[in-house]
């Protein structure tokens, strides 16, 4: 795939991602971190509110999680790193500076591969820093409201090298990073809830020429907005360069109503952050033993899971695996406020699939039941995937009933729909339910190869079809096999969907070719 734009320009993109660390406590204080549903100003302490005399105390759990992220991103962890003050005066930062790692970040030179494009993106560095408070401005009363719940929450700023070459690659980078951070339990990575935010740097140039001047679009909180912002920025910069002018280096915002980027400030009015080492914090020393220990306890990364699933389950396609893994990467997080954490509902789609894949079941059939039937019906009901909708015991039994020919596929789908739209207890057997809904085939019907018999209702329906559709039957006799579907459809309506397609085809073929 060409990575050039149609008119020969090339876009160069580098992304800075802020990911909130999923820790119970803040980075430098013992105050609990907050979720969106916590009442304002209930999750902070004297240090977070910058009372004089309070001192930062580094939270070990945040460092362990940060190390997990660094290792998952193949970074080299620095034995010595340090913290600096980045000064700016804004109401969301009560102390007047943010603690960050400007001069010596704890992790450098990593890499993440985007599976869809088989593209490595280099990670320049990861730095630890504090999140800000949240300010809301009421223009009518000209009043700012400050909520300190978020202030001091640990953040990882993950910075890429400018290796990304299209809005699609940028979107894939964010999704891959999000899935990785979630898989290692470092961050909820939830863009809507603000636990993952991106600044995207965009420039354009002609290949072979020096890189163009970058503009940085700040604080994008959805992949959709990021893609739109990059596309707009490409066009804006093209217009400037095509009229032989220079792109000024700027920090820009994205207007969600106009779908355009707009100027926040130019390089000349960039604030002077007056970076200085934080005198209250010493050198952060991370020894190799700790790194090795965390490395050996890393849960499987998405790449490894993808490869394992493809090797372990015969017949499973890459597309099946992507669907299952994307479901897990995008699982809805239920905020469970008072326990101070967020929790996932049930097990993920991959675990659900693996639980269903007992040795006697065909993995491809199981995957299709999940990705086509279950997900199809859930999406028409506008409900997200959850392993709780239909427990694996019932889903497994349903698949087995269809595979063994005890119910037809359409009946299986009907049962699935019935399960999803009614409150069916997890203890009910699917066979029982099939009997109640009158879709269980009699033993003689269940075997498609046994063609019988005087008292077989499907057999009689087929005979009636032959009588009712004489011209279709003539067409089949003349070799027009497609017409068979119409006859089968007729039998299906007659038997209210209870007949087995394979069997109907066999009965009709037998009857018309023997008469």
Binding site for ligand ATP (CB under 6 A): 12-16, 159-162, 201-203, 211-212, 214, 216
The secondary element (H helix, E strand) that includes residue 231 is helix 223-242
Nearest residue to 57 via CA among 70, 74, 45: 45
Q: How far is the CB of 16 from Mg ion (least distance, A)?
A: 4
Residue 161 contacts which entry, ligand ATP, Mg ion, none (Cβ below 5-8 A, type-dependent):
ligand ATP
Question: Token pair for residue 83?
Answer: 């913290």
- Would you say 202 or 286 has its CB closer to ligand ATP? 202
Total residues in contact with Mg ion, by rule CB under 5 A: 3
Q: Tokens 């991370």 sit at which residue? A: 286
- Would you say 74 or 219 has its CB closer to Mg ion? 219
Q: In angstroms, what CA-CA distances link 81 with 25, 107, 159?
A: 21, 9, 17
16 touches Mg ion by CB under 5 A: yes
Strand partners, 266: 250
Q: How far is the CB of 14 from Mg ion (least distance, A)?
A: 9
Q: How far is the CB of 355 from ligand ATP (least distance, A)?
A: 41
Q: How far is the CB of 164 from ligand ATP (least distance, A)?
A: 8
Strand partners, 84: 100, 277
Q: x/- site string to Mg ion, residues 205 to 244, per CB under 5 A? A: -----------x----------------------------
Question: Token pair for residue 494?
Answer: 């007659």
Question: Token pair for residue 433?
Answer: 């339910």
- Would you say 203 or 320 has its CB closer to ligand ATP? 203
Count Cα atoms within 13 angstroms, Cβ side, for 449: 1
- Closest residue by beta carbon to Mg ion: 16
> Which conformational region is residue 398 in: left (phi greater than 0), alpha (psi within -120 to 50 degrees), or beta?
alpha
Q: What is the DSSP letter of 281?
A: S
In whole angstroms, what is the distance from residue 259 CA to residue 337 CA? 34
Residue 160 contacts which entry, ligand ATP, Mg ion, none (Cβ below 5-8 A, type-dependent):
ligand ATP
Nearest residue to 190 via CA among 344, 20, 33: 20
Q: How far is the CB of 33 from ligand ATP (least distance, A)?
A: 22
| Residue 105 near residue 127, CB atoms below 8 Å | yes
- Closest residue by beta carbon to ligand ATP: 14
19 Cα distance to chain centroid: 15
Q: Helix (H, G, I), strand (E, B), or coil: what is residue 480?
A: coil
Question: Token pair for residue 182?
Answer: 């979630």
Q: How far is the CB of 157 from Mg ion (least distance, A)?
A: 6
Residue 228 contacts which entry, ligand ATP, Mg ion, none (Cβ below 5-8 A, type-dependent):
none
Residue 13 contacts which entry, ligand ATP, Mg ion, none (Cβ below 5-8 A, type-dependent):
ligand ATP
Q: How far is the CB of 200 from ligand ATP (least distance, A)?
A: 8
Residue 211 contacts which entry, Mg ion, ligand ATP, none (Cβ below 5-8 A, type-dependent):
ligand ATP
The site for Mg ion (CB under 5 A) is made up of 16, 199, 216
């Amino acid at each position: 795939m060409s990575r050039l734009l149609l008119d020969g320009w090339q876009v160069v993109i580098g992304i800075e991602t802020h990911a909130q660390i999923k820790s119970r406590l803040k980075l430098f204080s013992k105050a609990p971190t907050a979720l969106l549903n916590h009442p304002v100003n209930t999750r902070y302490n004297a240090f977070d509110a910058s009372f004089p005399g309070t001192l930062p105390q580094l939270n070990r759990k945040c460092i362990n999680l940060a190390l997990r992220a660094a290792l998952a991103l193949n970074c080299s962890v620095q034995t010595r790193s340090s913290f600096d003050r980045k000064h700016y005066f804004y109401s969301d930062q009560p102390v007047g500076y943010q603690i960050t790692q400007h001069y010596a970040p704890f992790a450098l030179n990593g890499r993440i591969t985007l599976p869809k494009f088989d593209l490595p993106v280099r990670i320049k560095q990861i730095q630890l820093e504090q999140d800000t408070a949240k300010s809301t401005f009421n223009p009518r009363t000209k009043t700012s409201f400050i909520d300190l719940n978020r202030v001091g929450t640990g953040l990882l700023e993950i910075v890429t090298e400018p290796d990304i070459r299209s809005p699609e690659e940028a979107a894939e980078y964010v999704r891959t990073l999000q899935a990785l951070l979630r898989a290692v339990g470092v961050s909820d990575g939830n863009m809507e809830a603000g636990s993952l935010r991106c600044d995207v740097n965009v420039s354009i140039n002609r290949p072979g020429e020096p890189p163009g001047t970058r503009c940085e679009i700040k604080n994008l909180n959805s992949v959709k907005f990021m893609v739109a912002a990059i596309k707009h920025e490409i066009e804006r910069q093209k217009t400037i360069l095509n009229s032989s002018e220079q792109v000024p280096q700027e920090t820009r915002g994205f207007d969600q109503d106009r779908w355009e980027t707009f100027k926040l400030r130019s390089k000349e009015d960039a604030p002077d952050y007056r970076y200085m080492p934080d005198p209250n914090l010493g050198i952060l020393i991370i020894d190799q033993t700790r790194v090795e220990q965390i490395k050996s306890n890393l849960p499987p990364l998405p790449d490894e899971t993808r490869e394992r699933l493809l090797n372990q389950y015969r017949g499973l396609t890459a597309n099946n695996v992507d669907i299952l893994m994307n479901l897990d990467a995008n699982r809805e997080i239920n905020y469970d406020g008072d326990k101070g954490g967020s929790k996932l509902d049930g097990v993920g789609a991959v675990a659900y699939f693996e639980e269903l894949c007992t040795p006697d079941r065909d993995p491809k059939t199981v995957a299709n039941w999940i990705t086509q039937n279950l997900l199809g019906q859930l999406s028409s009901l506008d409900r997200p995937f959850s392993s709780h909708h239909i427990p694996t015991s019932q889903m497994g039994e349903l698949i087995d009933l269809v595979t063994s020919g005890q119910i037809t596929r359409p009946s299986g789908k009907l049962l699935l729909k019935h399960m999803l739209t009614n409150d069916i207890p997890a203890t009910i057997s699917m066979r029982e339910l099939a009997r109640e809904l009158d879709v269980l085939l009699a033993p003689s019907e269940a075997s498609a190869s046994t063609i019988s018999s005087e008292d077989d209702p499907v057999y009689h329906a087929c005979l009636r079809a032959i009588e009712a559709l004489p011209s279709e039957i003539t067409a089949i006799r003349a070799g027009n096999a497609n017409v068979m579907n119409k006859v089968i459809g007729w039998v299906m309506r007659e038997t209210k969907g209870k007949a087995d397609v394979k069997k109907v085809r066999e009965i009709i073929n037998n009857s018309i070719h023997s008469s």
